[in-house]
Structure 1
Amino acid sequence: MAARNSAPEKRPGLISQIKTLLKFTKDVYPWLPWVLIGIIVAGIALGVGLGFLIPPVALWSIILWGVTGLMLGFLAAMITMSRLATKAMYAKIDGMPGATGYVITSGLGRGWHADETPVGVNPKTQDAVYRAIGRAGILIVGEGAEGRLSRLINEEKMRAKRVAPQVPVHVMYVGNGEGQVSIKALGKTVKALPKSISKATQAAVIKRMDSMTQGMASLPIPKGIDPTKVRAPRPR
């Protein structure tokens, strides 16, 4: 019998994660390294300046303040890179099939129950409909041409009303056109929806919707996006 490999998978270290994050973000913002260097240098300069201004003015004090400025500059650089990495991620997945599924499963928080697999999809056009359930009710998100999505959206709305007639149903279309929600603003827009049902009702709706979809054929994730390859890891 072959021996089982019980060794845990080695996670990348901090330096490796920072390098990966830097490379990922630099693809969208080529000027990023210069900005990070500038932030760190500014932090050191600020620390040294404080060393000269705050008594006692001595070499050890200037060095100590310089090191403090270096640490603060490095921290500010990491925060800047992390925020730009998030923007870079949205820029890369904008318009890609499957991007909506990634956002609703990773960007809405624990208060929402969602799946990256669409509940309705047109294999020819790759237009897809996704569903999420939260305290605000049932969310239906269309990804693709709004006109072509009408049938899929209406089918999912009827299904939701049949399972939970008293629960609000919200419909959003992902895109950059008028009345649509951009992929980068989708998470924030969904989180802004007012809470209208209790946690118990939410759990009951999730159970009913899941039981209904279990009998349906498994729908494929639209080709065009691999969330594991797009996701930018953040340094610990």
Structure 2
Amino acid sequence: MLSMKTTPNHTGVKISGDYFDLDELNQAIYQVIGKEGEFHGYEGSRLRILGVSYEIRHAAQGDRNVESVFNGLHEHTKKQHGFIAPDKNIYFSAEVLWPELLYAAYALRDFVRLYADKRGDLLADTHAPVIAKFQALVLECLQGHVPNDEYAAILEAFRKSPSVNDYAIQYVDLLNLKYIDMTKQQREKSLSTIAMKLALQDPEYQAFRKQVIDAATPGKLPIHEIGIQAEYPDQVEW
């Protein structure tokens, strides 16, 4: 079963599941976000989501964390059915920074809409429900770490958040790097603020986006191709 829990230092979220849970999520992401260049104005957000998918895929391949989890098979069940079997399953997991994961959850809302427009009736579709569960798990994990009134405001912002069409994805890097540099206590206090900033695209974001557009204009580049000067640390204290 796919699950999420915040990391010990509140730096990010550990996404866990067996191989099939993680592979199902990855396949759903690939289907919903479409092919490169398919959705004009969304390529930056698509690449951002693929970054999260990259971690999930490597987790499923055993390249990140591996742990054994009780599978519900008790000794009396083994005796009742007369067979020998392990009582644990192998689960895989990977950590993703909180701002990165929140943005992926927000951006996927747009991609599900685009996917539905392309596909039509989603009644028999198996991918959109997987994405919906992923988004719900992100929000459920967030709920445990922000006050109730702030969580309610975040949910409302999630419902009404503007499109991520032509989003300045470098802003996610800015929030990621600021968040990494915080103490555990600072992260706990700022998590709801970061969630709101991503959802509402506030004046700080708008000013940042203008800077990115100004940098992209001379070379007539898409704004998602503008790099940032800062670098991520080699090691993150999760």
Same fold? TM cut 0.5: no
| TM-score using structure 1 length | 0.23
The structure with higher relative contact order (CA 8 Å, sep 6+) is 2
Structure richer in helix, relative to its length: 2
User: In terms of Rg, which structure is larger?
Assistant: 1
Q: TM-score, normalised by structure 2?
A: 0.23
